[in-house]
Structures are given as C-alpha cells and as structure tokens.
C-alpha cells in the first residue's frame, strides 16, 4: 500500500479530524449594540472568534451615518461589516489581497444582509481608482508586514481620504512608537484613542488645506 493510499484510506484515524477542519466555522458577535454573524475558515486570521484588536477598534469607531468607509485588509470582514452597519447611508468597501478573505467577506455581507458594501481583491490600495475617496479608512495592522509596507499603506490611505477624513489603526501595543512616528510624518497629527491589554487604537486626520 502506498503512503497516499494509507493517508486517504477509510481506516485512517486522521480522516475525521481533517474533514472537520475543512468545514466552515460559524459564530456570532455583538459590537456597538449590533449583533453580527460570521462564517469563516481555517487559514484566515482569527477564524474562531473576533480577535481583541479588531474588537477594540470597532468599539472605538465614531462615525456619521452617511460616511463612505474603507476596510483595509478586511480578512473575513468584521471591521467592514461593522462600518457598513454604522454608516447605512454611505458606502463601505472591503479590500484584501487574499482571494479567500474576499470570498468569505462576501459571504458575511450576505449573511448579515448588508447591502451598502462591496468587496475588492487588491494588494493594498492598488486597485482603487485615484479619485475614490473615503471619510474613514480602518485597519487592523498585521504585526509582521514590515515597516516599509506599513508606510506605504499609511501614505496611500492619506491619499484616499477626503479632507477631514480619518484613518483608524489598531496594532499591537509594542508597535506604538513606530506607528506614532509614521502617522505624524505622513498626516501631521496622531492621537491614541484607546489602550487595551495588548493593542492600541490610533487615529490620524487628513486635515483640510487652508488657503
């Protein structure tokens, strides 16, 4: 018997567990007094529950009902779905470079009956047209993408914000120094909104130009 036959055989003790790992995961969460349902899969970030950083960011959001919003690096969509629910009169765009994340974000928009949002496969903001601007850009910054890409994402977010628009960033607290320096350098301002046990939420505004 070959190794492949052994692994795939009906008597393989791992077959049941592997099949279980392939099944979609479903759970519910409540943010800002709204209940959401999520469908996820292994391979996406925090597939079994909303992570603490994302939760901290969503609970910190303070936005108007007509805002146009961007979820940068959406994963399976919790930030973008919360933005769309909080700004029902605006449009929200969810983007990610992972096609599986895009697929599950679309599933979750439908699962939560969100009609004012779209998803887009994009490496950073590269697929967004230059003239598409947002009131809010929100992101849960991955810890291991490097300072160079982080700087690119911050700078591109600045260019895609309307005057007066805001970038919300949640990150591990240990990244606080670099994030503050980078946002201050690009936006000219930065404030820490909230500090959790392991994460911090910062906000920077694209200030309107003065004549």
Q: What angle do CA 77, 80, 82 make, to 5 degrees?
A: 105
Q: Is residue 118 part of a domain?
A: yes
* Predicted pLDDT at 15: 77
For the chain, what is the largest distance between any 2 Cα atoms, rounded to a whole number of angstroms? 79
Q: Is residue 4 part of a domain?
A: no
DSSP state of 188: S
Count the neighbouring beta carbons within 10 Å of the beta carbon of residue 73. 22
* Predicted pLDDT at 50: 97
Mean pLDDT by 10-residue block, N- to C-terminus, for the chain (211 residues)?
Answer: 48 79 93 96 95 96 97 98 98 97 98 98 96 98 90 98 98 90 97 94 88 51
Sole residue written with tokens 């959790």: 196
Q: Is residue 14 part of a domain?
A: no
Cβ-proximal residues to 146 (8 Å cutoff; 6+ apart), any chain: none
Phi–psi pair at 37, nearest 5 degrees: -120, 145
Q: Is residue 1 part of a domain?
A: no
- Total count of domains within the chain: 1
* Predicted pLDDT at 4: 45
CATH number (domain holding residue 160)? 3.40.50.150
Its pTM stands at: 0.90
Q: Is residue 210 part of a domain?
A: no
* Predicted pLDDT at 208: 81
* Predicted pLDDT at 176: 87
Q: Is residue 9 part of a domain?
A: no
- Domain ranges, residue 33: 25-205
Total number of residues shown for the chain: 211
Contact 154, 167 (CB under 8 A): yes
* Predicted pLDDT at 138: 98
Q: Which residues pair with 14 in a beta bridge?
A: none
């Amino acid at each position: 018997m070959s190794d492949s036959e052994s692994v795939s055989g009906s008597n393989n003790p791992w077959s049941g567990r592997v099949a279980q790992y392939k099944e979609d995961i479903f759970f519910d969460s409540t943010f800002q007094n709204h209940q959401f349902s999520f469908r996820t899969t292994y391979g996406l970030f925090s597939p079994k529950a909303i992570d603490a950083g994302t939760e901290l960011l969503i609970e910190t959001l303070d936005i108007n009902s007509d805002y146009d919003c961007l979820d940068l690096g959406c994963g399976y969509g919790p930030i973008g779905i919360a933005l769309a629910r909080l700004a029902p009169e605006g449009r929200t765009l969810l983007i990610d470079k992972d096609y599986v994340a895009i697929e599950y974000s679309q599933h979750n928009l439908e699962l939560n009956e969100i009609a004012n949002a779209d998803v887009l496969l994009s490496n950073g903001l590269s697929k967004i047209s230059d003239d598409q601007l947002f009131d809010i850009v929100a992101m849960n910054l991955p810890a291991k993408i490097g300072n160079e890409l982080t700087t690119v994402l911050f700078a591109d977010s600045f260019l895609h914000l309307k005057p007066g628009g805001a970038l919300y960033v949640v990150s591990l607290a240990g990244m606080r120094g670099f994030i503050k320096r980078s946002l201050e350098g690009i936006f000219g301002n930065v404030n820490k909104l909230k500090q959790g046990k392991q994460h911090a939420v910062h906000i920077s505004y694209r200030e309107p130009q003065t004549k």
